[in-house]
Amino acid sequence: MQANKRRSLVVGNWKMNGDRSLVEKIQSQFSQASLANMDWAICPPAAYLGLFDSKTPLGAQNVSQFDSGAHTGELSVSIVKDLGCQYVIVGHSERREDNFESDEVVALKVEKILAAGLTPILCVGEPESVRDAGTVFEYLTKQLDAVVTLVGISAFANIVLAYEPIWAIGTGKTASPAQAQDVHGFIRGYLANLDSNIAAGTTILYGGSVKGSNAKELFSQADVDGGLIGGASLNPEDFLSICLAANL
Ligand SMILES: O=C[C@H](O)COP(=O)(O)O
């Protein structure tokens, strides 16, 4: 680990991909891996969560903002906790877009995840039009404000943030290390304005076309503490090479 940096975290988000055989392959790939200096986790489709052995750190891709009851097709935090999840991705741009999740709904989900003792991986990130307009920081401020307003800054001691520029997700168009650092530095500064200790300890992941070939340079940026990996997490060798790049 670099001096003054937080412990790295790399999370694989399979999205609506993968199958039983990928569950086996990833477990076998990681069973021999030596990753003592970083943390990692897999967020498979919820239906596969129960297929993993207890050695694989797990996260859910989503949870309901409700506790239980008549919400067909939804999963509560207690259900994903029961299935062994430590993490829950929340506010991913695909859910904000496909499922019309507002900043306020995202904040309610963060509150539920924290109350269950799980770690939210709170995603923020701008579309290309916002980047072109030069209003990235304003856009991210609004996304962050909604969560801070509901749960308070001290709750960020138990929240992982993920910066995912939408234009870089699944496009092969990765943010440059300098672009990523610029935004990660802004996010840490936003937190520091509210509480400098919380800001210094908050893990901020980068997500958007991370691969084995670009992971090391991205992760070496001062405020980049690891990655949220989509496509490359579906290939066990590629995902392991990204984890190894964070295992400093
Ligand atoms: O959750 C993961 C991100 O959306 C990144 O996806 P990607 O690595 O396929 O670009």
Alpha helices in the chain (DSSP H): 20-31, 77-82, 93-98, 103-115, 128-133, 136-151, 177-194, 196-201, 212-219, 236-246
Q: What tokens were used for 29?
A: 């790939």
Whether ligand 1 lies within 6 angstroms of the CB of 123 is answered as: no
Whether ligand 1 lies within 6 angstroms of the CB of 218 is answered as: no
- Is residue 3 pLDDT above 80, yes or no? no
Whether ligand 1 lies within 6 angstroms of the CB of 169 is answered as: yes
Tens of pLDDT along 125-177? 999 999 999 999 999 999 999 999 999 999 999 999 999 999 999 998 889 99
Distance, in Å, from the CA atom of 232 to the CA atom of 31, rounded to the nearest integer, reads 19
Residue 68 three-state SS? coil
Mean pLDDT taken over the chain: 97
Q: Which atom of ligand 1 is least distant from the CA of 93?
A: 4
**Domains of the chain, CATH where assigned:** 8-246 (3.20.20.70)
- Give me the pLDDT at residue 5, please: 86
Q: Which atom of ligand 1 is least distant from the CA of 231?
A: 9
What residue owns the CA closest to ligand 1's atom 3? Answer: 230
- Is residue 195 pLDDT above 70, yes or no? yes
The answer to whether the pTM exceeds 0.90 is: yes
- Give me the pLDDT at residue 40, please: 98
What residue owns the CA closest to ligand 1's atom 7? Answer: 230
- Give me the pLDDT at residue 89, please: 98
230 appears as a binding residue in the annotation: yes
ipTM attached to this prediction: 0.99
Residue 159 three-state SS? coil
- Is residue 1 pLDDT above 80, yes or no? no
- Percent of the chain at pLDDT > 70 equals 98
What residue owns the CA closest to ligand 1's atom 8? Answer: 230
59 appears as a binding residue in the annotation: no
- Cα separation values, 145 from 6, 14, 46, 71, 103, Å: 23, 28, 29, 28, 9
**What pLDDT band is residue 2 in, cutting at 50, 70 and 90?**
low
Q: Which atom of ligand 1 is least distant from the CA of 94?
A: 4
Residue positions annotated with a catalytic role:
92, 164
What residue owns the CA closest to ligand 1's atom 2? Answer: 230
Longest dimension (CA), the chain: 49
- Is residue 241 pLDDT above 80, yes or no? yes
Whether ligand 1 lies within 6 angstroms of the CB of 242 is answered as: no
Whether ligand 1 lies within 6 angstroms of the CB of 221 is answered as: no
